[in-house]
Amino acid sequence: MQDVIRTRFDYGEASKVLKETLNLDGSPVAFKFCKTPDDIPEGMAHISEKLRHCQMVGMARKEGKIFYATVDNHACMGGSWALGLRELTSTLKSGEFYYKLGKFESWAACKRTIDRVPHVESLTTYATLYAPLEKAPFDPTLVLIITKPKSMLKLAQSNLYCLGGRITSNFSGIQSVCSDACAQVYLNGTPNYSLGCDGSRKYSGIEEGEMVMGIPIEMIPEITYAIKIVTGAAGSS
């Protein structure tokens, strides 16, 4: 059975609304966890390079690239583990990796953090698919948006427009684009904001004044409906 969503909507129109209302630099990125080779669209390019997941997101966002990547194309061990492409390495599991980078006081602090990093079950992802949302030849699992805090504010307001409530964000300053904005969003079925991590800011073009957000594809129609209202509201700045 093919992995598609039941309720169809126009990805191009959704992308247009997000770009115009949020004044995005680049496109919203369609991302998919692909479980089998059969779910890769026929003729879709297989990237030949070995890059980080966050770099691949940047290519779809800024360069309009459409492609898929398998485990051998993923250069970041932590990122590909979070995405379900490979098993956790022993140095990540023990805390040694992040301890050596000088980001924690102790191995125990590293271990407590890595044990709580949201991740897709190891070896359940065959490939990861990337495209600008408006050009996506597949049904995404989620949409990634990288933009400034003021635009994230409007996304938060859009998320709460129908039912209200509070926004909860979960991150740790590591594995931002792979875990916080992809794995966690997939597993929980709710949007998540992240500040970015050192790796994603260094390699993927996330600027100093930008954040990243992942949104389940099922919520995009609701968000694009609400965002036109909240950005045009009398009290909107």
Q: Region 225-232: what's the mean pLDDT? A: 95
Q: Kindly state the helix (H) or strand (E) to which residue 146 belongs, with its residue range.
A: strand 142-147
Closest of 190, 131, 205, 186 to residue 156, by C-alpha: 190
Give first-to-last CA distance, the chain, whole Å.
Answer: 46
CB neighbourhood size of 38 (10 A):
10
pLDDT at 4: 84
What average pLDDT does the structure give for the chain?
Answer: 94
Closest of 46, 209, 213, 24 to residue 134, by C-alpha: 24
Question: CB under 8 Å, gap of 24 or more: what pairs does 36-44 form?
Answer: 36/126, 37/126, 37/127, 38/2, 39/2, 39/3, 39/126, 39/138, 40/68, 40/127, 40/129, 40/138, 41/137, 41/138, 44/68, 44/129, 44/137, 44/138
Q: CA–CA separation, 13 vs 114, rounded Å?
A: 38
CB neighbourhood size of 19 (10 A):
19
Q: Is 185 helix (H, G, I), strand (E, B) or coil?
A: helix
94, exposed or middle or buried, with CB in 10 Å at 0-12, 13-18, 19+?
Answer: middle
Q: Which two tokens stand for residue 15?
A: 């992308």
Quick: pLDDT tens for 27-50: 999 999 999 999 999 999 999 999
State if pTM tops 0.85. yes
Quick: pLDDT tens for 145-162: 999 999 999 999 999 999
Q: Which two tokens stand for residue 158?
A: 């859009």
Quick: pLDDT tens for 60-109: 999 999 999 999 999 999 999 999 999 998 988 888 888 888 989 998 89
pLDDT at 119: 97
Q: CA–CA separation, 38 vs 22, rounded Å?
A: 35
Q: pLDDT-derived band of residue 225, with 50, 70 and 90 as boundaries? A: very high
Instruction: Return left, alpha or beta for 165; rule: phi > 0 is left, psi -120 to 50 is alpha, else beta.
Output: left
pLDDT at 237: 79
Q: Kindly state the helix (H) or strand (E) to which residue 183 belongs, with its residue range.
A: none
